Amino acid sequence: MAWDDIPDWASSVANSILMNVKQKDPFTFYHCCRVGRASRRLAQSMGLNEYEQSVLEFSGLFHDIGKVGIPDSILLKPARLEADEYRLMKAHPVMSAKTIEPLSNIPFFKAQLPGIRYHHEKVDGSGYPFNLEGDKIPLAARIIAVVDTVDAMMYTRPYREGLSFDVVKQELKDFSGTQFDKAIVNIYLDAVRFWNNIEAADKEEKAIKQILLKSA
Ligand SMILES: [Fe+2]
């Protein structure tokens, strides 16, 4: 097996694990799907190769799967978490990585672990659970941190309204260099304009297909 082989069963494994997440918490499931997709896009915009893009996509898909180990009373709590609940919640990146570790004899899955394990670290060292700083945070984790936070801010939760994309972009700028890697934020803000066009084009294509089906 070459170092950059992607097993043909990799997607089946992802589907299987994510079905478990969906049964536990559909919101986390859809969040993981979106973050996987956005991680690949950002990796592509950063010039990473096809294999690295796939690693990023899978790391994004798996980044929150450890939340299945968090009690519903905390994970689904319709209010802000108490300090002891938050402490437990902060264990989820390590729990996500532990779920994938049994597959780490396969290089493709081993390569996903840094992005998963460190996705809540912040470049100023104030993240969790390891308080890593700057370049000590693996690149994959710095990439996921940006798209993960964007997604989390944009979607409405029981305890707060989702933010508009303009506000989210401003947050990224405000926390660039403290929470987020500056260079990655710059590339994201530059690239995302075209993603929105892709999103719109996707929708348009689907709508056209619907019309064509109806008129057939
Ligand atoms: Fe997370």
In the reported structure, the alpha carbon of residue 188 is separated from the centroid of ligand 1 by a whole-number distance in angstroms of 19
Say whether pLDDT at 215 is over 60. Answer: no
Say whether pLDDT at 202 is over 80. Answer: no
Options 22, 67, 77, 209, the catalytic residue: 67
In the reported structure, the alpha carbon of residue 162 is separated from the centroid of ligand 1 by a whole-number distance in angstroms of 17
pLDDT digits (tens, 9 = 90+) for 131-164: 999 999 999 999 999 999 999 999 887 778 899 9
Q: Which of 22, 151, 157 is nearest to 80 (CA)?
A: 157
In the reported structure, the alpha carbon of residue 5 is separated from the centroid of ligand 1 by a whole-number distance in angstroms of 27
Active-site residue flag, 67: yes
pTM, rounded to two decimals:
0.90
Q: If pLDDT is split at 50, 70 and 90, which confidence band does 194 have?
A: confident
pLDDT digits (tens, 9 = 90+) for 28-57: 999 999 999 999 999 999 999 999 999 999
Mean pLDDT for the stretch of residues 161-173: 93
In the reported structure, the alpha carbon of residue 67 is separated from the centroid of ligand 1 by a whole-number distance in angstroms of 8
In the reported structure, the alpha carbon of residue 14 is separated from the centroid of ligand 1 by a whole-number distance in angstroms of 17
In the reported structure, the alpha carbon of residue 68 is separated from the centroid of ligand 1 by a whole-number distance in angstroms of 12
Q: According to the model, what pLDDT value does residue 90 have? A: 96
pLDDT digits (tens, 9 = 90+) for 78-133: 888 999 999 999 999 999 999 999 999 999 999 999 999 999 999 999 999 999 99
Q: According to the model, what pLDDT value does residue 201 have? A: 61
Q: According to the model, what pLDDT value does residue 27 have? A: 93
Sign of the dihedral through C-alpha 19, 25, 31, 34 = positive
CATH superfamily of 10-210: Hypothetical protein af1432 (1.10.3210.10)
